[in-house]
A and B are shown apart, each in its own frame.
Chain A
Amino acid sequence: MSLYQLQKFLYVLNRDQASQRRYRDEIHELLNDFDLTDEERQALVEGDIGLLYVLGVNGQILMHFAAFLGIEWFDYLELMREGIRKHGPVRAGVYAMTGGGERFTQEEKTR
């Protein structure tokens, strides 16, 4: 249930400008609208992309949160890899690690 709430928070944030304003101005009050664990709250407050990925947030939701935070594409990919290194494999949701987090584009390898 908790992953559902975590993803719901980001789903709402991604599409609702009022929530985006509240994220910047009164994030703790905004978080109180959702039933989240302390770890999930901390990940959202800090914009911890790596931990959010490990917690199981779908990338189709997470990549827009990263863009909202101003994180560039390749940095977004690297933050998820860092999250795996720091926190271990994805814990829940549709993802399991089927790759080693290697870089799959020449564009990124030569960055």
Chain B
Amino acid sequence: MSLVYAGVLSHAPGITGRADLVRDVSIRNEFYEKLDRQRKEIEEMQPDVLVVVAAEHFANFFMNNMPAFCVGIGEEHAGPIEDPEWLKIPYTTVPGNADLGNRLCTEIMKSVDVAYAEEWKLDHGIMVPLHFLTPRYDLPVIPVNINCQGPPLAPLHRVWAFGQALKRACGTVPERVAVVGTGGISHWPATPDSGKINAEWDVEFLDRLRRADKKALLSYTDEATYREAGQGGFEIRTFIAAAAAAGGPLNLQFYTAKLPIFAVGCTVGRFEIL
């Protein structure tokens, strides 16, 4: 067993970029504290690499060639692709692990078809999590993308299969691997409805993670998700992949819908690894 940590956290450019616009600073700071606690919990597990299962936003992939799943196997990655002033995260280079990325990718491919990329540009979907989880950018990162931007989307049972394949792959390598899934739950990012959050829908989704209820997690349809949780809701794929990798229930460490300026409900959690 080389999967030593599995968790989830929210990403959104506003979490760093619009931090100074927040009115309820105490909730924002509590969120940041929980993210810092997540950093410590990851560090305590002494991982050799952090796999970030994310939903990138046209940083590397466009509709000319959009993979359902892609693993970044480059020596290093650079970001943010966005204006650093806008995101309020300086441009930096993050170490990868090409050798481990290759081995993980090869194992995953035994059961799930994935694309790979030796060149990867990091957008806010990964830079915001790294800003909190590896602020010195000294832990090698293997980025993973699941297309969550628009259909055709990988069905949720395939996302689950990908998460399981990732776990199996981790079991074949001697390195200690930490995995986080980062997405939003319900949200309508970068649209006129930015800031809208369906907290009831979020809480139900998180409860399914807490119960490790695979059947309930995979029962969402994209049509219903779009209607009730917005196009941002497609990003539940990242959480579901992390849940499948972990196999156990989620210990929800933080959730709030009271930071709509971030345009997403803010979540931090850690899975039990079974």
Contact = CB atoms under 8 A, between A and B. Distances in A.
Contacts of B194: 59, 77, 104
B264 to A, nearest CB: 11
Interface stretch (A23-31, A32-40, A92-100): A92-100
A23 to B, nearest CB: 15
A48 B175 CA distance: 50
B193 A101 contact: yes
Nearest to A74: B21
A14 B18 CA distance: 20
Q: How large, as a class, is the contact surface on chain B?
A: 20 to 34
Contacts of B82: 64, 67
Contacts of A103: 195
A104 B62 CA distance: 29
B271 interface: no
A80 B121 CA distance: 28
B221 to A, nearest CB: 16
At the interface, is chain A mostly helix, strand, loop or mixed?
helix
Given A58-B58, A99-B196, A73 B18 contact: yes
B266 to A, nearest CB: 14
A63 to B, nearest CB: 4
A98 B21 contact: no
Contacts of B192: 53, 77, 80-81, 84, 99, 101
B205 interface: no
Given A15-B81, A53-B192, A59-B191, 4 more contacts: A62-B190, A99-B196, A104-B194, A106-B23
13 contacts: A14-B58, A53-B192, A58-B150, A59-B191, A61-B58, A62-B190, A64-B83, A68-B83, A84-B192, A98-B230, A101-B193, A104-B196, A106-B23
